[in-house]
Each structure stands twice: as C-alpha cells, then as structure tokens.
Amino acid sequence: MVTTSRPRATVAGLEARLRVLEAADSVRWVMGRYFQLCDVPNPELDLDELGSLFAPDAVWEGTGRDYQGKFGRHAGREAIVAMLAGYLPPSEHFTANAHVLGEGRINVTGSTAHGTWIMQQLSAHADGSSELAAARLNVDFALDGALATISRFRTERLFATPLDGTPVDIPSTATLSTAGTAR
C-alpha cells in the first residue's frame, strides 16, 4: 500500500490555485492577441484594442545592442500605440508579418505576473526584403483579478537573417561541441 502525506486541499487553497491558473491564462491570451493584432495583413487591426492590452502607464522598450537603438523606450499607452502604428497599416513598413510565440514561462505573484518567451518573426518589407528574426521577450503584467494588462514589455533581438535564398552560415554541431575544449 502506498500512502502520501499530501495535505488536504482546502477551499481557500483551491481558490488561490484557480486565481493563479486564470491569471496565467489571461497573460497567454493578452500575448497572443497582441501579436495577432501586430500581424500583417490583418483585417481585424484595431489600434484601440491594441492599446487596451497595455496598462495606462505601461513601458515598451527595445533592449540589447540591436533593439535599444532601433526601438528605444516608449512610456504610456498612447506613446506605445503610436510607435506600433508606425509599423502597421496604413504604414508601408511591412507587406507581410507573422509572429510565432513559443510556450514561455509565466510566474504569477499576487497582483502581478512576469513572463518570458522566445518569439520568431517572419517579415516581408515594402522595400522587397524579407527576414526571419528571433527575440527574447520579458514582459511584466498588472493583474486586476485574473485580467492581465501589459505593464512593461521588453524585447531583445537574438538574431535575424534574410530570407532571400542566401545560405546562412551556421556552425556544425561538431564545431559547437569542441569550441572551448582544452586539448
């Protein structure tokens, strides 16, 4: 016979666990909707809805060598939406743009949550170029009950490569496994 010393579930404990699960689900929904609204073409593009995903005093910023200068820092919902609108129709920046968001990790603590994701972005630009990019996202959320809004969004480019048929030089597995090995 197998016995466990698992504590009995209490109603309060189950309610607390349910709040965490609902908050994490809301975080996932907000991130999914954010990228869905930023895809191009998008007949559902609604800048007011995009803005509603952010807290009024939210911050959106590019970090790291590549994105800090390219995107900078934008404080406040209106400034964030204005910046994003510069990349979305009727802007002619993208002719096509799709985001693929990895599963990520979400930590819910009281009235806040934090998530990290790897995001891939496939883009075709108005100038005829296209690229595949990957970025690390670190995003903080304010929680109102189980409803999440983005309070701080940070994106850091990990790499980008053109999608013009040019071969990409990727080190072989053997090179990677012997790199830094003392002989």
pLDDT tens across 39-48, in order?
999 988 999 9
Helices (H), the chain: 11-38, 47-52, 64-71, 77-85, 173-178
**Residue 176 clears pLDDT 50, i.e. is over it:** no
Closest CA to 114 of 85, 145, 151: 151
Which pTM was predicted?
A: 0.83
Three-state DSSP state, 93? coil
Give the pairing of strands 94-101 and 54-63. unpaired
Q: How far, in Å, CA of 81 to CA of 88, rounded?
A: 10
| pLDDT above 70: percentage of residues in the chain | 85
Beta bridge partners of 101: 119
Do 118 and 102 contact (CB within 8 A), yes or no?
yes
pLDDT class of 31 with cuts at 50, 70, 90: very high
Mean of the pLDDT values across residues 94-99?
93
Average confidence score pLDDT of the chain: 88
What is the per-residue pLDDT for 169?
53
CA gyration radius for the chain?
A: 20
11-16 mean pLDDT: 87
- Is the pLDDT assigned to residue 128 strictly greater than 90? no
Confidence of residue 181 (pLDDT cuts 50, 70, 90): very low
CB burial of 63-76 (b: ≥16 within 10 Å; e: otherwise) equals: beebbeeebeebee
Domains defined along the chain, listed by start: 15-166 (3.10.450.50)
Q: What are phi and psi of 2, to 5 degrees?
A: -105, 130
Q: Which helix H or strand E contains 155, and what residues bound it?
A: strand 147-162
Mean pLDDT on 47-62: 98
